[in-house]
Amino acid sequence: MIKSPYLIRPGKALNFAKLSTDDTGPFKGKEEAQEAIDKNLRKLRQLQELLYAQGKYALLVVFQAIDAGGKDGAIDHVFSGVNPQGCAVASFKVPSLEEAAHDYLWRIHLAAPRRGKIGIFNRSHYESILVERVKNLVSLKVWSRRYEHINAFEKMLGDEGTVIIKFFLNISRDEQKRRMEARLEDKSKNWKFSPSDVEERKRWDLYMEAFKDALEKCSTEHAPWYAVPADRKWFRNWVISDIIVRTLQELDMEYPKPVECLDKIKVV
């Protein structure tokens, strides 16, 4: 678990209203941060190669946000330089008939990365204590016991070698409005907009309450939550890349030892 001003401290009460959406950290602006972002992306590619070569750990990166929170953009930018062979994105939408016939964690476990790989979840198992809660798709009795399930599931993954980092992309209500309007105005982005987004926006307070409980109850030593100020996309990208790089650097990773007698081999 990496120390950060955006870490949701495990076991501590969370004052959700005080979480920043528009912080810029140590930077005065985008131009000043760009060098640091580019440096992180180069490091991430190097660390991914080491992760893949050693095959001891898997990395699971979870993204959650309100509609227009920036999950797609963050994934596209932060992982733009990694080798696609060692990285996979899973996007969890409405469960299929087969998925719905199993427990809610079944499809999640199927998508978990194997050792040596980076797995990225665009939405995740947390939908079952966010959307399903807010829209009353399941009862209080059902969703309230899922925090314990999720913590146990993530603990098991961690014990088996999966390093988990979870990012809540925290945007303001005003910023969500601006982004939705931009999707309506730009014809090339119309496909991203659904009339249901307007209905979901009316549930803003309910979603924020659900996010608060998810972050507070499910930020643990083995699977920490980070609430990333995401009104500024460039700063969001720096925070995410910085935390991922520092997390990987803390692992005891090294390249496998080469086979013996390589110095005696001649390629003809």
Residue 70 region by backbone torsions, left for phi larger than 0, else alpha for psi between -120 and 50, else beta: left
Record the tokens describing residue 261, joined without a space.
């007698």
Has residue 5 been placed in a domain?
no
pLDDT digits (tens, 9 = 90+) for 208-223: 999 999 999 999 999 9
Has residue 261 been placed in a domain?
no
Has residue 4 been placed in a domain?
no
pLDDT digits (tens, 9 = 90+) for 131-182: 999 999 999 999 999 999 999 999 999 999 999 999 999 999 999 999 999 9
Please state, in angstroms and rounded to a whole number, the distance separating the CA atoms of residues 85 and 2. Answer: 27
> How confident is the prediction for the chain on average, in pLDDT?
95
Has residue 259 been placed in a domain?
no
Has residue 264 been placed in a domain?
no
Mean pLDDT throughout 108-125?
Answer: 98
- Per-residue pLDDT band at 25 (split at 50, 70, 90): very high
- Per-residue pLDDT band at 1 (split at 50, 70, 90): confident
Has residue 83 been placed in a domain?
yes
Q: Return all residues near 199 (Cβ < 8 A) that are at least 6 apart.
A: none
pLDDT for res 258: 83
CATH number of domain containing 31: 3.40.50.300
pLDDT digits (tens, 9 = 90+) for 46-80: 999 999 999 999 999 999 999 999 999 999 999 99
Q: How many domains does the chain have?
A: 1
Has residue 162 been placed in a domain?
yes
DSSP state of 86: G
Residue 117: closest CA among 50, 39, 37:
50
Q: In which domain, by residue range, is 248 found?
A: 16-252
Has residue 11 been placed in a domain?
no
